[in-house]
Every structure is written in C-alpha cells, then in structure tokens.
Amino acid sequence: MKKKILVVDDDQGIRELIAEVLTGNQFEVIQAQNGTEALEKLKTATFSLVLSDMQMPQMGGLELLQRAKSMNPSIPFIILSGSFHEDNDTALIQHVHLYIEKPFNPFYLLESVLKYFRSA
C-alpha cells in the first residue's frame, strides 16, 4: 500500500517538483497551496507524513503544525524553509521530524523521506 503524503507550499513549482520526485517512488502525493487548504485535507483523509513550507501567506508552517497536531498528535512533519529563525528552534525540536533548508536537492529530499519511513 502506498504511503500518502501531504505536500503544503504556496509555490506551485516546489509542490509539483516534490510530487514528481515522491510519486515516482511509490508514494501517493496530495498537494495543498496553503495551511488552510491543508487542514481541510487533513480533516478528510489520513496521511503518513506532511511536508510543509515554513513561510506561507495566511497560515505558516508552524501554525499548520500546531493545528494539525491538535487534530492528530502523531502525524509526522517535515518542514521546508528558505529562512530559519532561532525563535522557531524549540517548536522544531519538539514537533518536527526533520527540517530541510531551501533550496534543497530533490534526491536529498527523497532520501530523507525514505529514511524516515524506514525508521518509523
């Protein structure tokens, strides 16, 4: 059975790149363009992993993380960001399985996701 991954990023090109890399590796990828859309998808489907951008309009990755965890405390998150801020360090250490800095190598992202599922 394919693992279902929710990819959340306001940049359509990034979402499509991630979907292309992961879909070809036996993952089912669902895309959301912002945190609000992601929460709606999380209410109606079960996901094995959420890959979310940190900086998005309306609702950033950390707010999405907090709200998603209140719905399902065990849902794993990988955060993608081009700008990491020290104040987010505590939240990331406590609730995020992996932080990947943008720009990222698609093969590194794929290997990170595969490694996560091997260890989970």
Name the CA dihedral angle for 41, 67, 28, 77, rounded to a multiple of 10 degrees. Answer: 170
Pairing state between β 27-32 and 49-53: unpaired
DSSP for 31-81 reads: EESSHHHHHHHHHHS--SEEEEES--SSS-HHHHHHHHHHH-TT--EEEEE
- Dist. CA 115–CA 12, nearest whole Å: 25
pLDDT value at residue 85: 57
Under a CB-based contact definition with an 8 Å cutoff, are residues 7 and 42 in contact? no
Q: Are 73 and 51 in contact (CB under 8 A)?
A: no
Beta bridge partners, 8, equal 32, 52
Question: How many separate domains does the chain show?
Answer: 1
pLDDT digits (tens, 9 = 90+) for 61-88: 888 998 999 999 999 999 998 765 555 5
Note the pLDDT of residue 24: 75
Query: Model confidence over 87-113: pLDDT tens digits?
Result: 555 655 567 778 888 899 999 999 999
* Domain of residue 49, CATH code: 3.40.50.2300
Residues of the domain holding 65: 3-119
